[in-house]
Structure 1
Amino acid sequence: MTGPVLYGIPNCDTVKRALAWLEDRGIEHRFHDFKKGGVPADRMDYWIAALGWEALLNRQGTTWRKLDDAVKAGVTDAASARAAMTAHVSLIRRPVVEWPSGEITVGFTHDSFKQHTREALM
């Protein structure tokens, strides 16, 4: 892999900002659309192992708020969070970024992307 791989949903504002940031700087990258390509099971397991399920689960968004209270109460560990995020891909915080260094980040900030792309150029 020469550039980062971004996983997310194309109509997500944060994903749009992250993609625009990379494109504006001419940084090679690949985008994986959760809605079209689903969530790769092996990647989900890898992200949970690397970051913890709490870092991936978006409890602030509309999708979480619309879930039945019993479903929300049932998300108590990695297995239940994985099942919920697989069933409702919008529950995954985004973008999830796999950097060429092997590091994984969630979300977008200018500083984080600057740091990771600077490392890739070294």
Structure 2
Amino acid sequence: MIKMYGIKNCDTIKKAQKFLINHQVDFEFIDLRDNPINKTKLQTFVDKLTWEKLINKRSTTFRNLNNKEKNNITLELVLKNPTLIKRPVLVMNNNDIMVGFSEKSYLKIC
């Protein structure tokens, strides 16, 4: 089963969920606020995606970081501020990871 990580009130999460439901793709949603990811899982995301792809630089949380933090993203910083993670993060059955939502990308998993 696909795991979708995000925050339930995020508009992009809602679009992604609607798309998967409409295409009859089973997924489990994990809210990063209710069920924070652990350091090991976050490190897996970073290893597969890199910080550049994983961090949402348009988020209010990122904009509120000081310059030192913006230039030195760490596991601890992201674990304390899960809204820094671009949403959604999809982890497929084969452990491939996708971040963000685009219909074109999502059609590949349908």
Using structure 2 for the length normalisation, give the TM-score.
0.90
Q: Distance in 1 between matches of 2:29 and 2:5?
A: 6
**Which 4+ runs in 1 deviate beyond 4 A?**
none
TM superposition shift of 1:72? 2.5
Structure 2: gaps spanning 5 or more residues: none
Structure 1: gaps spanning 5 or more residues: 118-122
1:89 aligns with 2:82: yes
8 Å CA contact 1:53, 1:82 repeated in 2: no
Partner residue, 2:35: 37
Please identify which structure carries the higher helix content: 1
1:25 to 23, 26, 50: 23
Give the match's secondary structure for 1:17. Answer: helix
Q: How many pairs align? A: 110
1:100 to 93, 96, 109: 93
Give the match's secondary structure for 1:105. Answer: strand
Q: Distance in 1 between matches of 2:99 and 2:4?
A: 10
Using structure 1 for the length normalisation, give the TM-score.
0.82
Kindly name which structure, 1 or 2, has the bigger radius of gyration based on alpha carbons: 1
Q: Distance in 2 between matches of 1:34 and 1:102?
A: 19
